[in-house]
């Protein structure tokens, strides 16, 4: 039986954690200074923003941790 490696696990874990952080922590103090960040005052958009950010970070970390080792060069 062959073992199959699960793909995008880091992305989904990061997405869930990021969305939780964004939903519960949506009132940003620095959004008054920067008007383009005022959309992050809404819980849904801050959840999506943090979810995508942490999802991409989780995917990157998964790819670097499980990077396939290159096969050694064969001597001719």
Quick check: is 33 in a domain? yes
pTM of the complete model: 0.68
Quick check: is 40 in a domain? yes
Quick check: is 30 in a domain? yes
Domain that holds residue 35: 9-63
Quick check: is 70 in a domain? no
C-alpha dihedral, 44 to 31 to 14 to 62, nearest 10°: 140
Quick check: is 73 in a domain? no
pLDDT in tens, the chain (76 residues): 566 666 778 889 999 998 888 888 766 666 667 777 777 778 888 889 889 999 999 888 888 887 654 445 666 5
Q: How many structural domains are present in the chain?
A: 1
């Amino acid at each position: 039986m062959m073992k199959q490696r699960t793909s995008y696990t880091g992305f989904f874990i990061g997405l869930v954690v990021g969305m939780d952080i964004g939903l519960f922590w949506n009132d940003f103090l620095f959004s008054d200074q920067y008007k383009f960040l005022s959309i992050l005052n809404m819980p849904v958009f801050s959840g999506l923003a943090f979810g995508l950010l942490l999802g991409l970070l989780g995917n990157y970390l998964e790819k670097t941790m499980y990077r396939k080792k290159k096969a050694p060069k064969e001597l001719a």
